[in-house]
């Protein structure tokens, strides 16, 4: 088991809902550990967001799930993260505080170069931003 922080289309009710992704692949459902935030800058790629981790940024809202190890490969496929390939998203490990407890998590940020010219989502919340468009 490991943990993942999801901030965009992998959140509950979104197009790539993490629980639905697990069900499609007959993998144990993820367990929601809580809502959390990562400091950074969130950008609008139109149908999905991209997070640039930045300690001076705003709190980017997301959810932390405990997931079966098998689900990591599914998430990597959704985010198009492949070994040895420089794609848009990068799998990375960080520590995030969830209800006052430090939790090691996998996240899928993008590089600063990928967001040049894109609109920043000032609220740091993809779901609220998408609904408000």
Looking at the annotation, which residues are catalytic? 79
Helix-strand-coil split of the chain, %, nearest 5: 20, 40, 40
The distance of Cα 64 from the centroid of its chain, to the nearest Å, equals: 9
Structure-token pair, residue 105:
């998590």
Contact 110, 48 (CB under 8 A): no
- Bridge-based pairing state of the strands 92-98 and 58-67: unpaired
Residue 43: which of 54, 28, 32 has the closest Cα? Answer: 54
Cα–Cα distance for residue pair 74/58, rounded to 1 Å:
29
Determine the 3-state secondary structure of 109 from DSSP.
coil
């Amino acid at each position: 088991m490991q943990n993942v922080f999801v901030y965009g289309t992998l959140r509950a009710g979104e197009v790539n809902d993490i629980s639905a992704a697990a069900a499609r692949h007959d993998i144990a459902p993820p367990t929601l550990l809580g809502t959390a935030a990562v400091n950074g800058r969130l950008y609008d790629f139109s149908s999905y967001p991209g997070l640039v981790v930045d300690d001076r940024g705003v709190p980017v809202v997301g959810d932390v799930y405990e997931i079966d190890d098998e689900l990591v490969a599914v998430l990597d496929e959704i985010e198009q993260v492949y070994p040895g390939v420089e794609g848009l998203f990068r799998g990375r490990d960080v520590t995030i505080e969830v209800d006052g407890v430090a939790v090691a998590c996998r996240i899928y940020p993008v590089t600063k170069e990928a967001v040049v010219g894109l609109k920043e989502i000032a609220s740091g919340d993809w779901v609220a931003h998408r609904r408000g468009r």
